[in-house]
Chains A and B, each alone.
Chain A
Amino acid sequence: MTVQKENSMLKQKQMLADHFMELSQVRETGKKVVYTFVPGNLTELIYTFDMLPVYPEINALQSGMRKKSRDYIREAEDMGYSEDICSYVKCDVGMMVQGNIGPTGQQLPPPDLLLLSYTGCFVFMKWFENLKHLYPDAEIAMLHIPYQEGGRIEPDHIEYIKEQLRTEVIPKFEKVSGVKFNETKLGEKLDLSAKAEDLLIEIFDSAQNRPSPIDAYFGGVYYIGPIFTAFRGSPECVDYYEELASEVRFRVENKMGPITPDGVLQEENFRLVVEGPPNWTHFRGFWKLFYEMGAVFVGSTYTRVGGVYDDGFRHSSDDPLKSLAEYCLGCYTNRNLPQRIDLIERFITRYHADGFLVNSIKSCNSFSAGQLVMMRELEERLQIPVGFIETDLVDPRYYSYSNIKNRLDSFFQMLEQRQIMKRRMEAVA
């Protein structure tokens, strides 16, 4: 079993190593580099031009996991960045200033193009404005994505985005890469994306089983790695998800729980749905607070941060630019609050969750705004216990073990007490 798990893990590790190796060799290969963000990213388009993507958020979270973020943040604060600014930004800027050494220890190449493909997080714009100061030679391409204020994608939205792709983004790509746009090539990649997306949904949906074979939050961040970063649209990405899906099927057949850093979860006591990104600086310790209580996440919104496939969207070669537009528009933080609440409600009911937890991130407005409204609405709609904790993405100063533990103790006891009550009522009936 452990070997099976390791297969997909090892595969992902190798994919990342190859990618960073390729990035470190751009001086020799002449490949152009695009810095871009995860939500609603245009990875397939980037590869259509044979360019290589770099995701500053991913570098920041990796720095957090590798305990480097504190130094990088200090560096940025010394430069004048305020304590209240998104810790990803500060971590990233600090890393670049200190030599831009990536997660594998290799130096990352500077950007040839700064592609701002999602604008729902306003920090992204300021982030890239700052990067432009660091890399004055880089070209900039900006794709404005309208927020789903009305709770749905309007035809105008799609036309507006396609127009920007045609007149702003694609010409910039052609200019930087020297490669002519090839829509057929893009379409082929999008069809490969759809295959991986189908498999990812199968994996997410496996959480309907008891015990759930996956942890859709802590395990989930590994599962979304390839699809939301540099690999969507590639055959390797499809291979990875086939491997992962077969491991998950094996666990379902054998009624096995998810794999934690301490082995397979033996007893599933609580099934949770969580809103908000995880903390990266204490990732394992944070995870342990849950799995040592037998708590498993059966659904999470963070694993929809790149794009949402739950309501049927798949990339498609039918109308490639429309497909890209829909993907950008549909990403989780671009949805309005009622839509997000509906999505969470669907997770809670579809995956039979016992409780809903918010991990509110001190330095992330896109996620944190509206979370209290979500809690209240879901509590009232579903009569489900809700919990609230606060951490940060990569600033370790905001991870207070005792505060989190104290709140989680109460939260788990709320769930336990409810189970006791339910058993008693069933016994009486």
Chain B
Amino acid sequence: MKTYLGIDLGSTTSKAVLIDEKHNIIGRGITNTRSNYEVAAEIARMEAEFNSRFTILLRRMKESSSGEVDWNHLVALLEGRFHYLQFEERFAELKNAMLEQANHASNGVPAAEIVDIIRSACDDVEAAVKDKFFNNKVSSTSEFFRDLFSEPYMHAIQNRERDLFDHLVAIYDRCITPVENKLLEFNFIDLTEQALDFMPEELRSLRKEVAVHLAEVAAINLEPADFIGTGYGRQLLPFDQKHIKSEILCHAMGAHTYFPKTRTVLDIGGQDTKAIQVDEHGLVTSFQMNDRCAAGCGRYLGYISDEMSMSVGELGPLALKAEYESNICSTCTVFAGAELREYLNLGEKKENILAGLHKAIVQRAFGLLARSGGVRNEMTFTGGVARNPAVVKYVEQLVIQNYGDIKINLHADSIFMGALGAAIFSEAR
């Protein structure tokens, strides 16, 4: 099967997309960007490859089966268990590393007891993560190994004494980065067969039917015929220059592929906001991007979520519950943090402050849009921040206010637009 690969190494997440010759996405992979860019890119690529095999498996099951079975559901369950088994391998590495670290006492608590605490916390983590994967509660685009582990781990140790808690956090901090930067190899067929063992009782009868196709699907050569890397970290990818392309062009091409009438692309990523004008071929005619401050980008939301002790994913939905928007000066992330604390101090509701912060982000983005030439025809909103419902709400509001009734395109793949564009450019070379 002829495939093409696009990799988008962003400042927060690394994405990979595998497409076929007709530009259809067959697999998506995403992971958090880490200090080792090569590993981040390789993990994203591997995930896209595994995801492609599940896509193909699903297609084949649907084609060959009588149609009574909900194969979408079944393959999703199987893929969730597959990911759980992947988690397990890295989890075992992390647990071992942490137990090795737990070799000295803290505040009168002997090392042996610390080892016990870690073991117990890890049991909690394992149970919590298993529940998430088995019941499809994992957000595939924002929860990665580090997030999956740390949340239940912190929960398990939160009631310990301060010194001991700090010691346990320090052990995690020391171990997580090296473990995260380790490239683990997974065997698709072995892991899928193990995943089948974990399937719910009533579905196990289908095992034989699946197994018939599994061997074939695992044997398909998905090695890309060509590939292109893009994104903020593109120059650090282990690719030569001809395999690297600017994310401005890639986002524009990705947006054009889904929505050919797009003339303006707004991309809000981790640390860049880009306003891009494109022509009818998806080619960029002009662009503007922020260069002095990351206020108005994903990192700003990350900073705010830390300040509010919430996860980034919770911010948007809470902001939607606001009665009005608190007035936030939108020029600086750090000062916005100060404004936020001041409002909290004055007793302002979190919802209203968050609404103000979200509006501020969008206003900054609109400053860039205006500089780039405004919104001309259909506007496609891409990047990780396009998944935030409050941001989307204000984008829609401001487009209508400033440019009238212009169609705004949003796609579930908004975070993969850059990688998709890169894959398409690699096919077109």
Which residues of A are at the interface with B, using a C-beta cutoff of 8 A? 372, 375-376, 379, 383-388, 390, 400, 403, 406-407, 409-410, 413-414, 417-418, 421
Rounded to whole angstroms, the CA-CA distance of A255 and B366 in the bound complex is 47
A413-B246, A413-B249 known; A379+B284 contact, CB < 8 A: no
| Contact yes or no, A410 B283, CB < 8 A | no
Count residues of B near A (Cβ-Cβ below 8 Å).
18
| Contact yes or no, A417 B249, CB < 8 A | yes
B286 lies within 8 A of chain A by Cβ: yes
Contacts of A385 in B (CB 8 A): 283-286
Which residues of B are at the interface with A, using a C-beta cutoff of 8 A? 245-249, 277, 279, 281, 283-289, 291, 371, 373
Q: Which residue of A lies closest to B248 (CB)?
A: A410
Rounded to whole angstroms, the CA-CA distance of A270 and B373 in the bound complex is 24
A390-B291, A403-B291 known; A379+B246 contact, CB < 8 A: no
* Majority DSSP secondary structure for residues of B touching A: mixed
Contact of B288 among A379, A388, A417 (CB under 8 A): A388
| Contact yes or no, A413 B245, CB < 8 A | yes
Instruction: A376-B373, A390-B291 are known; give 11 further A-B pairs, CB within 8 A.
Output: A372-B371, A379-B277, A379-B373, A385-B286, A388-B287, A407-B289, A409-B246, A410-B284, A410-B287, A414-B283, A418-B283
Rounded to whole angstroms, the CA-CA distance of A409 and B245 in the bound complex is 8
Contacts of B249 in A (CB 8 A): 410, 413-414, 417
Contact of A421 among B281, B286, B371, B373 (CB under 8 A): B281
- Can you pick out 29 interface pairs between chain A and chain B where the beta carbons lie within 8 Å of each other? A372-B371, A375-B286, A375-B373, A376-B373, A379-B373, A385-B284, A386-B285, A386-B286, A388-B286, A388-B288, A388-B371, A390-B291, A400-B291, A403-B291, A406-B246, A407-B289, A409-B246, A410-B248, A410-B284, A413-B245, A413-B248, A413-B249, A414-B248, A414-B284, A414-B285, A417-B283, A418-B283, A421-B281, A421-B283
Contacts of A372 in B (CB 8 A): 371
* Majority DSSP secondary structure for residues of A touching B: helix
Contacts of A383 in B (CB 8 A): 279, 285
Rounded to whole angstroms, the CA-CA distance of A407 and B288 in the bound complex is 9
Rounded to whole angstroms, the CA-CA distance of A417 and B284 in the bound complex is 9
Contacts of B245 in A (CB 8 A): 413
Rounded to whole angstroms, the CA-CA distance of A385 and B247 in the bound complex is 17
| Contact yes or no, B291 A387, CB < 8 A | no
Contacts of A376 in B (CB 8 A): 286, 373
Contacts of A409 in B (CB 8 A): 246
Q: Which residue of B lies closest to A409 (CB)?
A: B246
Which interface residue of A375, A387, A414 has the most chain B CB atoms within 10 A?
Answer: A414
Rounded to whole angstroms, the CA-CA distance of A406 and B234 in the bound complex is 10
B244 → A minimal CB distance (Å): 9
B417 → A minimal CB distance (Å): 15
Q: Which residue of A lies closest to B246 (CB)?
A: A410
Rounded to whole angstroms, the CA-CA distance of A59 and B273 in the bound complex is 38
Contacts of B248 in A (CB 8 A): 410, 413-414
Rounded to whole angstroms, the CA-CA distance of A375 and B287 in the bound complex is 11
Rounded to whole angstroms, the CA-CA distance of A403 and B232 in the bound complex is 11
A413-B245, A413-B249 known; A379+B285 contact, CB < 8 A: yes
Rounded to whole angstroms, the CA-CA distance of A414 and B252 in the bound complex is 11
Q: Which residue of B lies closest to A414 (CB)?
A: B284
Q: Which 6 A-B pairs have the closest CB atoms?
A: A410-B246, A410-B248, A386-B286, A403-B291, A414-B284, A376-B373
| Contact yes or no, B286 A387, CB < 8 A | yes
| Contact yes or no, B283 A379, CB < 8 A | no
Rounded to whole angstroms, the CA-CA distance of A376 and B375 in the bound complex is 12
Q: Which residue of A lies closest to B278 (CB)?
A: A414
A242 → B minimal CB distance (Å): 41
Rounded to whole angstroms, the CA-CA distance of A22 and B426 in the bound complex is 62
Q: Which residue of B lies closest to A378 (CB)?
A: B286
Contacts of B277 in A (CB 8 A): 379
Rounded to whole angstroms, the CA-CA distance of A390 and B371 in the bound complex is 13
Contacts of A413 in B (CB 8 A): 245-246, 248-249
